[in-house]
Amino acid sequence: MTLNLRLAAALCAALSLCAVLAVPANFPALGGDARLTLAVFALATCAWIGTPIDDTYIALGAGLALTATGVISSDTLFGTLGEDTVWLLICAFVLAAAVARTGLAGRAAAFLVGGARTVRQLVHLTTAALVVTAFAVPATSGRAALALPVFLALAKVLADRKRLVVMLALLFPTVILLSAVATLIGAGAHLITVSVLWEATGDRIGFTQWLLLGLPLAVASSHLAAETVLLTTTRRAERAGPVRITAEEIQRHSESPVTGPWTQAEKRCALLLATVVALWCSEPLHRVSPAVVALIGAVVASSPALGTVRLKDALKTVPWSLLLFMAATMAMGVALADSGAAGWLVSGLPADVAPAVFLGVVVAVSTAAHLVLQSRSARSSVLVPLVIAAAVGAGVNPVAAALASTAAAGFCHTLPASAKPVTLFSDVPGVPTYTPRDLLRLSAVLAPLTALLVLFFAAAVWPLLGVPVTR
More confident residue, 398 or 255: 398
- From CA 406, how far away is CA 408, in angstroms rounded? 6
- From CA 386, how far away is CA 25, in angstroms rounded? 24
3-class secondary structure for 310-372?
CHHHHHCCCCHHHHHHHHHHHHHHHHHHHCCHHHHHCCCCCCCCCHHHHHHHHHHHHHHHHHC
Give me the chain's average pLDDT, please: 82
Residue 457, pLDDT score:
94
For residues 372 and 411, is the Cβ–Cβ distance under 8 A? no
The backbone torsions φ and ψ at residue 169, rounded to the nearest 5 degrees and listed phi first, read -60, -35
Share of the chain above pLDDT 70, in %: 90
The winner for highest mean pLDDT among 32-36, 79-83, 417-421, 451-455 is: 451-455
Cα maximum dimension of the chain:
76
Residue 18 pLDDT more than 60? yes
What average pLDDT does range 23-37 have in this prediction? 75
Residue 400 CB neighbours (<10 A): 25
Residue 161, pLDDT score:
81
What average pLDDT does range 209-214 have in this prediction? 91
pTM for the predicted model, two decimal places: 0.83
Residue 17 pLDDT more than 50? yes
Residue 158, pLDDT score:
79
For residues 231 and 433, is the Cβ–Cβ distance under 8 A? no
Lowest mean pLDDT among 49-53, 317-321, 463-467: 49-53
The 10s digit of each residue's pLDDT in 372-425 is 777 778 788 888 888 888 888 788 899 999 999 999 988 888 777 677 788 878
Spell out the domain ranges in the chain: 1-71, 72-465
Residue 1, pLDDT score:
47
Lowest mean pLDDT among 176-180, 403-407, 467-471: 467-471
CA angle 241/244/245 to nearest 5° reads: 140
Residue 349, pLDDT score:
67
For residues 235 and 161, is the Cβ–Cβ distance under 8 A? no
What average pLDDT does range 230-257 have in this prediction? 74
